[in-house]
Structure 1
Amino acid sequence: MNYTFIGDIHSAADDLEVLLQAQDIQGSRLIFLGDYIDGVSTRTGTHTTDSLEPLKVLDIVMDRVRHYEDVALLGNHDDFWLQTAYGDDLSYQTWRLNGGANTWRQLGIHSNSPIIVTDALNQQPLARYTKFLAQLPLSWSTASLLAVHAGIDWNFPVDQQVRDDMMWIRDDYYFDKTKNFHPNKIGRIMVTGHTPVQSIKNDGYGFLKMQADPQDTPRYLIDAGSRSGAANGGIFALTLSETGDVLAKNWVIKQQLLDGNLPHLYD
């Protein structure tokens, strides 16, 4: 079986619908890397305004999981929703400052009151989404592959990772103390999202291949900046074989399906 890993979506239902029609991914099992909600509607340096449809994205992902046996991982933004529904005030405050206030309006919640927001997330029509998010795993793996939303702490085995690192870690996962790419200590190909590639290396590519040296087992970062404000922000899909061979790269920007092997820069 082949596997297609799909990076952060952030409410871009229109781009996701286009991506799912890509010929290269048909018949492969989809692994969504999390962050289905939140996002911004504007792009740096442009007059483009994008739609934000968090519930439509969740509906699409839920359908894929339930009817196609695809996999959806929990991202940190999705966890904002979940922990706020559980009544955690810190998560509510963090979410409010990181896209939540806008997302609540898109969910039909017209208040910033934590009590009202929490109550709405636990009642229909939103309760079914809360229930779905609550059962999402933090990782997915085979003998050759490992996918998590953010990354892992290299100081601990995979089975001893803490929840926050798997959803939040950044530089300590990417780089060593000399700011070179950290060696892959687990020997499995890893695929992650969480950090837009444009914030690390803005060269027009929608993915970042990380290797400490040519013999190092590769890691792929495929958050292509969907609804992040990046001018070329979009959703990236990386298709791998069971042994980790790269079979296809697809990238959707502004509802256009593009060759993910090539750079795409927008002025």
Structure 2
Amino acid sequence: MTVTLIGDCHAAADDLRVLLQAPALQTGRLVFLGDYIDGVATRAGTLQPAPLDPLGVLDIVMAQVADHGDVALLGNHDDFWVQTAAGDDLSYQTWRLNGGAKTWRQLGIHSSNLAAVKAALTHDPLRRYTAFLQQLPLFWATPELLAIHAGLDWDRPLSAQARDDLLWIRDDYYFDRPGHWHRNLTNQVIITGHTPVQTLRDDGYGMITMQADAHDTPRYLIDAGSRSGAANGGIFALTLAADGTVLAKTWVINGRVVDGNLPHFK
């Protein structure tokens, strides 16, 4: 069995449609790592705005899950939607400041009042999207692979992880000291999204391999900055064999499939 892990989309339905046609994604299971909504339209180096279509991304992902048995994980931005639909004021306020106000307009919600946003998310036509997001898992695992949106607290087993860490953790998962990758304390290859690679290492590549040394089990960060404003922002897909061997790296930037093994700067 092969599995293709797909990084954060952030409302880039156009790029996602192109990605799903790539040869490496035609067999095996797909695992989406979350953050389907809340993108920005600007891209460094151009004045041409990028289209944002959060419902288009969700329609595609929902169809893949329903029709093909693929897997979709919950991301922290998707959780804003879930918690706001439940009436949580802190999530609503945090979402509003982190792309929510723009996303609401894209969803047809023309009010920034919590009660109005909650009502819209829990009634037609948005109710089915809310129901889908509410039931998404926080991780997907096999004995050899572990996919999570953000990462792990290394002091806890997977069964005892805090929900917020699985959705939000960054530096404590990445590093054990500044500039040095934390050793992978599991026996699984770990694949995460959540943090655009451009914010950690702006070398033109769409993924980062994290290993404390050559003997460390690899971890892969595959958030390639889709709709983040980065000039080379796009959706990255990493195809692995069942044992974690890398089979293919596919990257879509601005509607074009590029070789994910190579750097691309725009």
Deviations 1:93-119 (A, max 9, x none): 000000000000000001111110000
Alignment of 1:1-267 (within 5 A): 1-266=1-266
* CA RMSD of superposed structures (Å): 0.6
| Range with greater deviation from structure 2 (177-186 or 126-135) | 177-186
* Alignment-mate amino acid for residue 124 of structure 1: D
Mapped partners of 1:45, 1:111: distance in 2: 33
- Deviations along 1:110-157, whole A, 9 cap, x unmatched? 111111000000000000000000110000000000000000000111
Distance 2:229 2:65 in 1: 28
Partners in 1 of 2:216 and 2:90 — Cα distance?
A: 39
Report how far residue 177 of structure 1 moved: 2.3
Q: In 1, Cα distance between the equivalents of 2:180 and 2:48?
A: 35
- Per-residue Cα deviation, 1:3-56 (whole angstroms, up to 9, x for no partner): 000000000000000000000111120000000001100012321310000001
Q: CA deviation at 1:170?
A: 0.3
Instruction: Report deviation, 1:234.
Output: 0.1
User: 1:14 is matched by which residue type in structure 2?
Assistant: D
**Inter-partner Cα distance in structure 2 for 1:97 and 1:195:** 18
| SS of structure 1 residue aligned to 2:105 | helix
Give, in whole Å, the separation in 2 of the partners of 1:178 and 1:27: 39
Query: Could you tell me which amino acid in structure 1 is paired with residue 255 of structure 2?
Result: Q
How many percent identity over aligned positions?
66
Q: Distance in 2 between matches of 1:161 and 1:45?
A: 40
In the TM superposition, residue 178 of structure 1 has moved relative to its aligned partner by: 4.2
TM-score under structure 1 length normalisation: 0.99
Structure 2: stretches of 5+ with no match in the other structure: none
Residue 187 (structure 1) shift: 1.7
TM-score of the aligned structures, taking structure 2 as reference length:
0.99
In structure 1, list runs of 5 or more residues that go unmatched: none
Aligned-partner residue type, residue 37 of structure 1? I
Q: Aligned with 2:220: secondary structure? A: strand
Residue type of the alignment partner of 2:157: P
Matched to 2:188, the amino acid is: R
Secondary structure class of the residue paired with 2:248: strand
